[in-house]
Amino acid sequence: MDCTHCRTPLPDEARFCFSCGSDLSDGGVKTVVRPRDVTAELHDRLTHVLSGRYRVQKLLGAGGMGAVFLADDLTLEREVAIKVLPPDMSRDERVVARFHREAKTAAKLDHPNIIPIHRVESESGLHYFVMKYVTGRSLESMLDAGQPLPIPFAVRVLSEAAAALGHAHARGVVHRDVKPANIMLGADDQVVLTDFGISKVGDLTAQLTQTGMIIGTPHYMAPEQATGRDVDGRADQYSLAVLGHQLFTGKLLFSGDSAHTIIYRHVSEQPPRVAKLRPEVPAVVDAALDRALRKEPDERFASMEEFARALRGEAVADPTAPRPSTRALNAATVRMAQPPARARKSRRPAMIAAAAAVLVIAGVGARAALLRSKSVDQTAVPRADVATAPPPAAPPVPIASDSSAATSVADAKPATDSVVPSPVIPRNEPRVRPIAQRLARRMNGPRTGQADQPAPVRQFARLTVASEPYGTLYVDGVEIGDTPIANYQVPVGRRVELRVERDGFKTRRESIMVNGPNAIRRRYILEPGEQP
């Protein structure tokens, strides 16, 4: 406000004019209240504090964690950007600690796609840091028109941003606020990542924020970050993929009438494929974004470097891809071990002939044994009286093309105590029986009960519950936590009781029968009133 006597600008809470001494609390003295220009006041204070070292020019932008001014470095004769924390926020020690952490975090990162920090200072009640001034524009300004960007340009922006984030992740820094406003494009369109104000360095963030506190921008927030769980570099990967979806389509991935609605959609809804909204997007880019947007961090790329390679079309293994079963692997091994198709075709008649020969030999052997027993009982002729003339040689019948496993009927010797000479296969012959057994199994199939039956695997369904406003979820009387709750496992084949409570609102209850492993999603609107 202004003093009515001397028009001196005064703070809103002042009781006396600093210039003329008028009593502002006197009802007879009228004052003129004017809007308070915080930015102008901050500019004036910064100019006074930095006098002789920097010449403050103009405001470049302002956000939740401070304002950024363009200034001239009078010593090194270069333009710099100075980010300063507003005085009103300087009274909060936690905010000040986070502000300094942003500067120190960014200062230890040395990468061409991360804006460098020159110095960090606190003096005369102001907290600020000086960084390189990037001449150009923010990615946010390019997306304001709501139009998709050229595909090669978008791929390059995502690749360079992924490289910068990968550098930060390798040093234990998670950005946690990847969005268009925090990506600058220099004069040569070089991507520069800015604003590590809510970044996570090891376990330090847990000391500066309340447990379960959600920080970040809802439109670009990963599901695990939105539900207050621990995050790592894969949360940045999800946010960058959301940004990529916007670059290629010109639209936000999820939108809504409230932050809670947007968070719920990130947690529970499957994102649309980019290629369906813009068919000219390459399949490799569409597949890379789809994987980076998966709800579970373990299903995304293991690193930002892998994400960048996938965007460029380089092959990256997907550990979540379906793997062939043991039976399929064994079948593939057998196929690799078998000879070429032509050779197998030529061996089939021989194997059939061998099987027929085995059956004939077995029949002849059985008949010979019967005649031998009758001959011994009726005549009791000694071996010396038996004619020793050899029977006519039978033509050899090959059993297998492999020389190590080949045999023939001519190789089988007759039993010495047999009356009727016949080619009987000795019981200790190791070559014929396995082939006959394999043929029998192939014709008759495996015996029932021979294969071990696998133990039944217990199945679970994934439960996702959200409410407006948020409340505490109970499953079968057990407190799970505040909504939204994502991917909570409930056993299949039983009924579960859901309950959402919040002080001052009616309790919502529902009984659900879990019939299969399909995802279960519930969203409740809590009504004001006493709990029933």
Q: Let me know: does 499 contact 522? Beta carbons within 8 Å.
A: no
- What's the farthest any 2 CA atoms get from each other in the chain? 155
Residue 325: Cβ-neighbour burial (10 angstroms; 0-12, 13-18, 19+): exposed
Task: Report the half-sphere exposure of 495 (CA within 13 A, side-chain side).
Answer: 4
307, two tokens:
């994400």
SS3 530: coil
Q: Let me know: does 486 contact 457? Beta carbons within 8 Å.
A: no
Tell me which DSSP letter residue 505 carries: B
Task: Report the half-sphere exposure of 294 (CA within 13 A, side-chain side).
Answer: 16
182, two tokens:
């925090």
Among 122, 115, 127, 137, residue whose Cα is nearest residue 65? 127
Active-site hit among 44, 88, 177, 257: 177
CA–CA separation, 250 and 469 (whole Å): 30
Q: Let me know: does 54 contact 84? Beta carbons within 8 Å.
A: no
Query: Could you give the angle at which helices 283-292 and 233-249 cross, rounded to 10 degrees?
Result: 140
- The owner of tokens 């550990």 is 319
- The owner of tokens 């994102």 is 271
CA–CA separation, 505 and 517 (whole Å): 32
Tell me which DSSP letter residue 318 carries: -
Length of the chain: 532
Q: In DSSP terms, which residues pair with 201 in a beta bridge?
A: 173
CA–CA separation, 393 and 390 (whole Å): 8
400 Cβ neighbours under 8 A, 6+ residues apart: 347, 350, 351, 354, 406, 431, 435
Question: What order do you get walking across the sheet with 494-501 strand by strand?
Answer: 478-482, 472-475, 494-501, 508-514
* Interstrand relation of 520-525 and 460-468 (parallel, antiparallel or unpaired): parallel
| 177 a catalytic residue | yes
Which residues are identified as catalytic?
Answer: 177
